[in-house]
Amino acid sequence: MEADKQAYTLTNNRTQTSITLPERRPVQGDPAVDISRLYREASLLTFDPGFMSTASCESKITFIDGDAGILEYRGYPIEQLAQHGNFVETAYLLLYGELPSVSELTDFTDIITHHTMLNKSLYNFFEGFHHDAHPMAIMVGVVGSLSAFYHDSLDIKNPRHRDISAHRLIAKMPTIAAACYKHNIGQPSIFPRNDLSYCANLLHMMFATPCEDYEPDPLAVEALDTLFILHADHEQNASTSTVRLAGSSQANPFACIAAGIASLWGPAHGGANEAVLNMLEEIGDPAQLDRFIAKAKDRQDHFRLMGFGHRVYKNYDPRAAIVRELCKKVLAKLGDHNNPLFELAQRLEDIALQDDYFIERKLYPNVDFYSGIIYEALGIPKNMFTVMFAIARTVGWVSHWTEMMNDPQQRIGRPRQLYTGYARRQYQPLTER
Ligand code: CMC
């Protein structure tokens, strides 16, 4: 971080107290006014619903330039990581700050591979859910329950314990995700196989059965790996901020990640990939596109174009550009050249990008717009799309949680409010109301 160069003076007109607030300069991106002393020294709060103008922490993990459409993990452009890297290598990069050497990657892969099994009694949790429970509902519960199993790594002040918990979470998420799916379709869970890569193992646990083995298709493995790289982190989004806020009270990492999964589930966040497919199926016919565009623009109508718009990107989401090309590649390799949902999605994008409403508001396709079409082409059901996102984002969540726990400035996250309720009033006995 560069030395502070600017300062801003703010006066509380009520108390006539003035305070000089320093500017904090990041390595890249917009500067921030450091208001941390504002309340203590000038009795003033700031008001920022939805955190439109708030940098909640310092972080060295991910950089986004929303105007230019740039995303970097630890300084590496997302395009380069997606083209040349793999998901486990990206996980190491996010967690430890540097790309691994050959031996570091071998060791890390080995550790992750050897933490994929679940405690046998954890499988009883799945049985407690109704067969048609949404896999995200199961996942929130099961991941939260991990803290009841791993007492040996719950000392959050111990860096070794933090590391083991991070490994356990990254390794066990595919096993939990696949077990959620198997419970949903009424098949027995399949154990992980240590000879398979991270994504091949996930596909194996989802699609093999006790009576029939399954050979993961290299195309599906590669596509999933790329999608997981793209979803691995995205700085202080809602779920990551949830993980940080939960962790700030010194809650254990399993509980924090469960909170992150719950936040991710919402359709404004990670639940959008499932919502996009539902929307495309509802539109169905290209002749209906204009009607749905009109609905999206109508303020009286709650309908929004799912997979469109982003709080930070006011340009094409760089992940969406990669997913769109990946979608073309996957469908071509599968011989599905005229996939109707992909055709419809591209037509929708073309119309929206030429429409003044979307142009003025700088609304572009985001990462979720095309990802569901790929998942569907790979045979992954709609209700598992957000689960796929959660597996990948676990890497970002544990990286942020670890960074926060190592941050000497870390303290409990405790926002204030602008109270707009009743002024003080007197209690009335029941009979007098
Ligand atoms: N369709 C129609 N109008 C939209 C859309 C959309 N998808 N997104 C934003 N707008 C309009 C919104 O109505 C508002 O218009 P006005 O200025 O006239 O009131 C303006 O654009 C600004 O929108 P906002 O809701 O104030 O923006 P936000 O930063 O609070 O919300 C968002 C960002 C992603 C929640 C929102 O764009 C949205 O709901 N998109 C659809 C859901 C979606 O695709 N979510 C995935 C996000 S990326 C992956 C992830 O985070 O997991």
pLDDT in tens, 158-185: 999 999 999 999 999 999 999 999 999 9
Q: Could you give the percent of the chain with pLDDT greater than 70?
A: 99
State which of 297, 299, 361, 394 you would mutate to test the pocket of ligand 1, scoring each by most atoms of that ligand within 8 A of its C-beta. Answer: 361
Confidence band (pLDDT; 50, 70, 90) for 215? very high
- Comparing CA positions, the residue from 232, 279, 274, 237 lying closest to residue 135 is 274
Torsion of CA 324, 325, 329, 334, to 10 degrees: 10
The 10s digit of each residue's pLDDT in 327-375 is 999 999 999 989 999 999 999 999 999 999 999 999 999 999 999 999 9
Which pLDDT score is estimated for 12? 87
The 10s digit of each residue's pLDDT in 363-392 is 999 999 999 999 999 999 999 999 999 999
Which pLDDT score is estimated for 15? 87
Predicted TM-score (pTM) of the model is: 0.96
What is the mean pLDDT of the segment spanning 88-103?
98
- Residue for token digits 């990107």? 313
- Comparing CA positions, the residue from 21, 28, 16 lying closest to residue 6 is 21
The 10s digit of each residue's pLDDT in 255-282 is 999 999 999 999 999 999 999 999 999 9
Task: Kindly state the tokens that stand for 406.
Answer: 């190592």
Q: Is 400 a catalytic residue?
A: no
Which pLDDT score is estimated for 264? 98
* Strands in 44-132 per DSSP E: 62-65, 70-73, 76-77
Q: Ligand 1 pocket, 308 CB below 6 A? A: yes
Which pLDDT score is estimated for 5? 65
- CA–centroid distance, 309 to ligand 1, in Å, is 5
- CA–centroid distance, 363 to ligand 1, in Å, is 8
pLDDT at 88 over 70: yes
- Report which ligand 1 atom has the smallest distance to the Cα of 271: 52
- Report which ligand 1 atom has the smallest distance to the Cα of 276: 44
Which pLDDT score is estimated for 262? 98
Q: Is 167 a catalytic residue?
A: no
- Comparing CA positions, the residue from 251, 119, 236, 115 lying closest to residue 174 is 115
**Burial label, 161 (beta-carbon count in 10 A; 0-12, 13-18, 19+):** middle
Q: Ligand 1 pocket, 367 CB below 6 A? A: yes
What is the mean pLDDT of the segment spanning 111-140?
95
Strands 32-33 and 17-24: antiparallel
φ, ψ of residue 269 in degrees (nearest 5) = -120, -120
Q: Ligand 1 pocket, 270 CB below 6 A? A: yes
- Report which ligand 1 atom has the smallest distance to the Cα of 389: 52
| Type of residue at 162 | R
CB atoms within 10 A of CB 201: 25
Residue of 225, 233, 317, 368 marked active site: 368
pLDDT at 157 over 80: yes
Residue of 183, 310, 317, 400 marked active site: 310
Average pLDDT, the chain: 96
Which pLDDT score is estimated for 6? 80
Q: Ligand 1 pocket, 368 CB below 6 A? A: yes
What is the mean pLDDT of the segment spanning 252-257?
97
Which pLDDT score is estimated for 4? 56
Which pLDDT score is estimated for 35? 95
- CA–centroid distance, 276 to ligand 1, in Å, is 13
117 to 178, 197, 204, 214: CA distances (angstroms) = 12, 14, 14, 19
- Report which ligand 1 atom has the smallest distance to the Cα of 369: 44
pLDDT at 409 over 90: no
**Through-space distance between the first and last CA atoms of the chain, rounded to whole angstroms:** 60
Which pLDDT score is estimated for 208? 97
231, HSE (Cβ side, Cα atoms, 13 Å): 29
- Are 373 and 277 a contacting pair, CB within 8 Å? yes
Give the closest residue (by CA) to ligand 1 atom 12: 361
